[in-house]
Structure 1
Amino acid sequence: MPPVQHSFQPRTGSADRPVLAIDQGTSSTKALVICPERGVIGTGSAPAPPRYGSGGLVEIDPAVLLGSVLDAGRAALADAAEPVAAVGLANQGETVLAWDPATGAPLTDAIVWQDRRAESLCTELAPHEQRLRQLTGLPLDPYFAAPKMAWIRRRLTREGAVTTSDSWLIHRLTGAFVTDAATAGRTQLLDLDRAEWSPEALEIFGLSDEPLPGVVDTAGAVGTTTAFGGEIPLTGVIVDQQAALLAQSVTEPGSAKCTYGTGAFLLAQTGDRPRRGTTGLVSCVAWRLGGHTSYCLDGQVYTAASAVGWLTDLGVISGAAELDTVGSSVPDSGGVTFVPALAGLAAPWWRGDLRGSISGLGLDTGAGHLVRALCEGIAAQVVELADAVATDLGEPLRSLRVDGGLTRSALLMQTQADLLQRPVEVSALPDATALGVGALARLGLDPELTAGQVVPEWQPSAVYEPRIGPAEAADRLGVFRAAVATLLDRTPPPAPATTEH
């Protein structure tokens, strides 16, 4: 049985004590023990790799997810050798599973956000796309949670509850049945303006009769857990990219960050009201504090580090650490263009059915050319997202703050600055997602604190300035856009599907 949920009132002075911040990600879970005065005093990690299969399958055993959370959290606590006042938990956002609310037992594997098996269901529901976008801020795509949830109900089980993975993890830790407003905003079931479940969206997906978790603020007492020793309150919950947005102090409209992880995710603040643009970006909840909702625009590149992993599996490089050494062995891409749509194209195209392409190969093409072409392909997609943000906000971005494992590649970061024609500021603090949810955990302990008081002052470890002019950047982007156009032309959108029974 899951632990019983307990009410919690913060103790005086508890916000000055360390907190445990856990980032449950796509391929691993990272945990930090963060002291407000001394910074990070303990770290831990645990693998949680998904498995890939035919037909767009990407799954993971829920026991692996939970085990990685427990192992990473306990390792961080052992490293710190100090008690903590609270726990914060960040999650993958769009990963879903069915489970038994009475026992907490999973009823299916977790369907990971990259999974594409709900494609035909989205095609079937295409007549509702514009209404869903107006209601929820999200385009109809298998990337989001609701199509996966409906697919589970049609194909796997009608039993139990079907939710995003955070609700299951929170239930196993505390006994509570909740999700936070930012994660709920990734389902395509949340009324964006009201930040409440939308009966109309639920009906469209055939989920009207589902037991739904309560939607809570991203900071505040959810319950307590004994999973990490003693009885510790869970006071911060949020989706991963919004946690990184907060950690990088992107709290004012017009500023943006990009996280380079399994995919690359660019988010820009829009303030206290959602901005429904025309460029294909997602409008969603950034966070909700004290009942007040902040919003952001969101764009995605489905494959970043996962594309590097693909090159690694082919033996082109031995890993991400070789991007710079191999890529620097040649002066340019040698005419090679790589559209790394290995899991389809997300914003602003929303063509998850597309496959990647490599063109311009010759007998003189080497590993360095492929590496440079991949870096250009990732960076060019991020430029498309930044341009879309500028269009929707009516002003260009002044700079781009970045974090994530791939920011260690000077080649990728310089390529990004060159193509973006803006400075790229690399976070000096690794694990921005965990830092963001740690800040929320502190806010949940002490509601008198403000976001500015719990987020570290922004101090980039490096700033990459453009080394090429606008004309050369435009030429290189033009080549990439032409390659994308070729993909779009030769791959028509899927035809509408017949209704499944």
Structure 2
Amino acid sequence: MTAILAIDQGTSGTKAIVVDEEGATIAIAEETVRPAYLPGGGVEQDPQELLDSVLTAGRRAVAMAGRPIAAVALANQGETVLAWDPADGTPLTPAIVWQDSRAESICAELAEHREDIARRTGLVLDPYFSAPKMTWLRRNLTREGVVTTTDTWLVHHLTGEFVTDASTASRSLVLDLDSASWDGHLLDLFSLGGERLPRIVAGDEVVGTTRAFGQEVPVAGLIVDQQAALVAEACLDQGTAKCTYGTGAFLLANTGLDPVRSSGGLTTSVAWQAAGRTLYCVDGQVYTVASAVRWLKDLGLLRSATDLDQSVAEDSEGVLCVPAFAGLAAPWWASEAKASLTGMTLATRREHLVLAVLQGVAAQVTELIALVGRDLGRPLGRLRVDGGLTNSAALMQAQADIAQIPVDVYPNAHATPLGAAALARCALEPALGLQEAVGDWRPTTVYEPRWSADRAQEFRTVWARAAQARAAEGDHS
């Protein structure tokens, strides 16, 4: 009876779960971590706090499970970097978080190489990704030690190894997407040519062993967080997609063995490497989802996020929201865009505004769904969803109505660690297929479209016009 400890080291916390061979959760432990938000766009974390949270949450989960574990899996934040001493693992800088925008100037210097970088990496040139942060760190903080993403540092503390997985490496802007290997030309562009880089490993690879959680066990199942959720939701075939509704919304679609370059401004990454194959995905983001709901609450239009479904009207009565509270991502890429609420009259009530915000979120996700369909060469047939806001029937129904596809709600709040656990299981049992390791799951709810196709198209046309207006104003602000 093999249990796996799967750890999801995230931006605001670390979650550790112990799962059995059926994928059932035996124990869960969580530790909060607190990023520091600095003037000038800086966002930092204390590396020691990250490591302590991994060790504490992991040990608590193992103790609660009361049974031995067979392996440790680790999902990570993706683009958060730090410098550290490879001799003893001592951090030399704070961790520079993926949200940190101080590398904007680095990207501006490389603007003439934007198209070449996109062609090689599948990504847009943006401080969101890890290489610009690494360059900024080298210029401003230290030239000592090695500079890597946090997963490499954490795994080094657990095992002594110096590795990263292909999905995390693909979020760097210095990985050749087609070969899934470091690109010397790009490393030179970012002034990182002389850096010692970690070995790139597969998600189903045993990378070392650790005694950090008790008896010595293998460490495997390394993967970036959103791709881990794609695994857990069994989006294993080309054309399957999931959307996570959290602080923002993250839509990922499996493109199979094809590292497709998006025609609509989405980004392309390695989804995972397993069974000797590299699979790819396209992804797009909606920046404000739970944060838009929190805005409604702060204005007094909503008592709490759990009160959403009691606070919406049956119809928005013409009220329209473009929820660009933190700008618009693909396909507009208008970071300066502002949110709008239009179509109000003296008959407008708060429940109309709440529904309009939810429909605005669903409309933005629908635009991403359309872009994914264009990149895949065929429309998505259905959408799998996870995250806290999937508890809102009003939001999920709006998603099904506007996108005109069924929406399947994932039955577990722990998709990310479950995806990492499935890959670790494949590492322990090489004959096991990923489909078998993930297992079958049934949606807690399936939302079918209730709107007619004509009504959905009319709404999308009007909403897209409003979004384009916000994007254009953002460009000129």
How does the TM-score come out when normalised to structure 2?
0.94
Name 1:400's counterpart in structure 2: 383
Query: 1:362 offset after TM fit, Å?
Result: 6.1
Change (3 A) 1:177 1:489: same
Aligned: 1:489 with 2:472:
yes
Name 1:382's counterpart in structure 2: 365
Q: 2:409, 2:445 within 8 Å by CA — same for their partners in 1?
A: yes
Which of 67, 77, 86 is equivalent to 1:82?
67
Query: How many Å separate the matches in 2 of 1:449 and 1:488?
Result: 48
Q: Residues 361-399 of structure 1, C-alpha deviation per residue, up to 9 Å, x if partnerless?
A: 666655434432321222112111110011111111110
Aligned: 1:113 with 2:73:
no
Query: How many Å separate the matches in 2 of 1:162 and 1:50?
Result: 19
Which range moved further: 356-365 or 60-69?
356-365
Q: 1:184, 1:190 within 8 Å by CA — same for their partners in 2?
A: yes
Query: How many Å separate the matches in 2 of 1:67 and 1:368?
Result: 44
Name 2:329's counterpart in structure 1: 346
- Specify the code of the residue in structure 2 equivalent to 1:383: T
Aligned: 1:434 with 2:417:
yes
Q: 2:16, 2:417 within 8 Å by CA — same for their partners in 1?
A: yes
Which of 32, 40, 44 is equivalent to 1:59?
44
Q: 1:288, 1:294 within 8 Å by CA — same for their partners in 2?
A: yes
- Specify the code of the residue in structure 2 equivalent to 1:185: S
- Specify the code of the residue in structure 2 equivalent to 1:372: L
Query: 1:70 offset after TM fit, Å?
Result: 2.1
Query: How many Å separate the matches in 2 of 1:349 and 1:135?
Result: 22
Q: Residues 210-237 of structure 1, C-alpha deviation per residue, up to 9 Å, x if partnerless?
A: 2211111111111122221222221110
Change (3 A) 1:310 1:130: same
Which of 96, 118, 123 is equivalent to 1:133?
118
Which 5+ residue runs of structure 2 have no aligned equivalent? none
- Specify the code of the residue in structure 2 equivalent to 1:475: E
Query: How many Å separate the matches in 2 of 1:391 and 1:70?
Result: 43
Q: 2:7, 2:75 within 8 Å by CA — same for their partners in 1?
A: yes
Name 2:395's counterpart in structure 1: 412
Name 1:151's counterpart in structure 2: 136
Which of 412, 436, 461 is equivalent to 1:478?
461
Query: How many Å separate the matches in 1 of 2:260 and 2:220?
Result: 29
Query: How many Å separate the matches in 1 of 2:373 and 2:333?
Result: 19
Q: 1:141, 1:350 within 8 Å by CA — same for their partners in 2?
A: no
- Specify the code of the residue in structure 2 equivalent to 1:128: H
Q: Residues 453-492 of structure 1, C-alpha deviation per residue, up to 9 Å, x if partnerless?
A: 1112031111001111122222322333223212222232
Change (3 A) 1:369 1:26: farther
Name 2:201's counterpart in structure 1: 216
Aligned: 1:460 with 2:428:
no
Query: How many Å separate the matches in 2 of 1:257 and 1:183?
Result: 19
Query: How many Å separate the matches in 2 of 1:368 and 1:124?
Result: 47
Aligned: 1:424 with 2:394:
no
Which of 452, 455, 476 is equivalent to 1:469?
452
Q: 2:338, 2:474 within 8 Å by CA — same for their partners in 1?
A: no
Which range moved further: 436-445 or 163-172?
163-172
Query: How many Å separate the matches in 2 of 1:58 and 1:340?
Result: 24
1:219 partner SS: coil
Q: 2:332, 2:468 within 8 Å by CA — same for their partners in 1?
A: no
Which of 323, 326, 332 is equivalent to 2:315?
332
Change (3 A) 1:207 1:17: same
Query: How many Å separate the matches in 2 of 1:55 and 1:345?
Result: 21
Query: How many Å separate the matches in 2 of 1:78 and 1:399?
Result: 40
- Specify the code of the residue in structure 2 equivalent to 1:340: P
2:29 partner SS: strand
Query: How many Å separate the matches in 1 of 2:103 and 2:344?
Result: 34
Change (3 A) 1:338 1:174: farther
Aligned: 1:31 with 2:38:
no
Change (3 A) 1:361 1:91: farther
Query: 1:261 offset after TM fit, Å?
Result: 2.0
Q: 2:18, 2:25 within 8 Å by CA — same for their partners in 1?
A: yes
Name 2:57's counterpart in structure 1: 72
Name 2:145's counterpart in structure 1: 160
Change (3 A) 1:117 1:315: farther
Q: 1:323, 1:409 within 8 Å by CA — same for their partners in 2?
A: yes
Which range moved further: 377-386 or 181-190?
377-386
- Specify the code of the residue in structure 1 equivalent to 2:409: V
Query: Structure 1 vs Structure 2: percent identity of aligned residues?
Result: 55
- Specify the code of the residue in structure 1 equivalent to 2:399: Q
Aligned: 1:302 with 2:287:
yes
Which of 225, 236, 239 is equivalent to 1:254?
239
Q: State the Cα RMSD in Å.
A: 2.1
- Specify the code of the residue in structure 2 equivalent to 1:148: K
Change (3 A) 1:136 1:350: same
How many residues were matched structurally?
A: 477
Name 1:12's counterpart in structure 2: none
Query: How many Å separate the matches in 2 of 1:44 and 1:160?
Result: 33
How does the TM-score come out when normalised to structure 1?
0.90
1:166 partner SS: helix
- Specify the code of the residue in structure 1 equivalent to 2:314: P
Aligned: 1:102 with 2:87:
yes
1:173 partner SS: helix
Query: How many Å separate the matches in 2 of 1:186 and 1:205?
Result: 14
Query: How many Å separate the matches in 2 of 1:312 and 1:65?
Result: 30
Aligned: 1:43 with 2:28:
yes
Query: 1:128 offset after TM fit, Å?
Result: 0.6
Change (3 A) 1:456 1:430: farther
Query: How many Å separate the matches in 2 of 1:105 and 1:414?
Result: 49
Aligned: 1:201 with 2:186:
yes
Change (3 A) 1:157 1:341: farther
- Specify the code of the residue in structure 2 equivalent to 1:250: C
Q: 1:436, 1:455 within 8 Å by CA — same for their partners in 2?
A: yes
Q: 1:59, 1:115 within 8 Å by CA — same for their partners in 2?
A: yes
Query: How many Å separate the matches in 2 of 1:53 and 1:313?
Result: 23
